[in-house]
Amino acid sequence: MHKRSRKNFMSVKAKLDRICINEAMLVKDALKQMDREGQKTLLITGPNRLLLGAITDGVIRRWILGDGSLPAPVASAMTANPLSCPLHVQTDEIRKIMLKTHIECIPLIDESGAVKDAFLWYEIFSTEKPAEQFKIPVVIMAGGMGTRLHPFTKILPKPLIPINEKAIIEIIIEKFTRHGCRDFFLSVNYKAAMIRAYFNDIAHDYSIEYVHEEQPLGTAGSLALLSDKLNGSFFVSNCDIIIEADYADILKRHREDKNIITVISSLKHYRIPYGIMQMAEGGRLEGISEKPEYDFFVNTGMYLLEKDALGLLPAGKPFLMTDLINDCLAKKMRVGIYPVSDASWIDVGQWEELQNALTRFGIK
């Protein structure tokens, strides 16, 4: 076994404290720890850090979509006997394994099976894990007035809100180009000329076609103007959100489930800071819950659609994406969700969330 200095030992201990969890931890709490620590993989360990399994954000996603319970212990959802390596393994060997398997965390175990260290992707490689490539169109809804960000948006359209020296819409586009998308449609109305001028002034290796709304058409209405240009699957995104996810996996799940629409949803946790009373008829108190906690999946404003959904849109009339979804459900068409964690969704559509986004990007 290789020797470690006290300094290195402490750093290893700190790392293992971040990525090792007890088998009794709840799935929803494991997801929160992933968000808190910025890790996509956690190791489930027993006494003396005996390796029992591993759980990733993808495993949790499949658990949720398979009707698994968020309050269930991680032992119910984990992958047992995960890939591990002996302590004496060389870094070059770890690099080869990670490139072949795309596993982002490989534990190092001793003869008893106890975790003594772990290699993480970012420790081995200086770049992000390569994104799987695909090419489908992307529609970005950029025509809104951004009233929740007044007075800022009285001057600047919401898609051009700067984050870390780039406009939010450029960051959104880069998330898709990383996966190989090159064809973008921007639905514009409010201060459309400023948006056009922005993209005319920057170098880019993707195509942009503008769809001008003569009147505000809501979050889905302008898609009817693209019915002759969109075929098969395509993404739709609001212009004030950033989704950190594997877009290729979203597309894969969408097609496997044969969804007409997939809604990318974020898990939100709310804690009511008061005692909640249950009232019965006549003002009788049935019970009281002290500071209850709730988990919800909420709509992020990003979707994956099939062209057939466009046939339900009224031509030239305002229409909301939620109305399109409800119409699909009413016609027994399959609508699915793709869950992401709370930290994977950055919303800049209102002042408080914009400030949070700036903080996450290290600007404040």
pLDDT value for 159: 92
Q: How far apart are CA 142 and CA 195, in angstroms?
A: 9
CATH, range 6-124: 3.10.580.10
End-to-end Cα separation, the chain, in angstroms:
44
Q: What is the pLDDT of residues 163-188, one digit of tens each?
A: 878 899 999 999 999 999 999 999 99
- The stretch 306-321 carries a mean pLDDT of 94
pLDDT-based confidence at residue 350 (cuts at 50, 70, 90): low
H or E element that contains 297: strand 293-306
The pTM assigned to this predicted structure is 0.88
Q: What is the pLDDT of residues 200-254, one digit of tens each?
A: 999 899 999 999 998 889 999 999 999 999 999 999 999 999 999 999 999 999 9
Q: How far apart are CA 45 and CA 37, in angstroms?
A: 17
Domain 138-360 bears CATH identifier 3.90.550.10: yes
Q: Which of 71, 70, 44, 72 is nearest to 56 (CA)?
A: 44
Instruction: Detail the DSSP E strand segments found in 191-280.
Output: 207-212, 233-238, 241-243, 261-271, 275-279
pLDDT value for 361: 59
Give the residue extent of every domain in the chain: 6-124, 138-360
pLDDT value for 58: 94
Q: Which residue has the tokens 């088998």?
A: 23
H or E element that contains 356: helix 351-360
Contact of 70 with 76, CB cutoff 8 Å: no
Q: Is the pLDDT of residue 192 over 50?
A: yes
pLDDT value for 150: 75
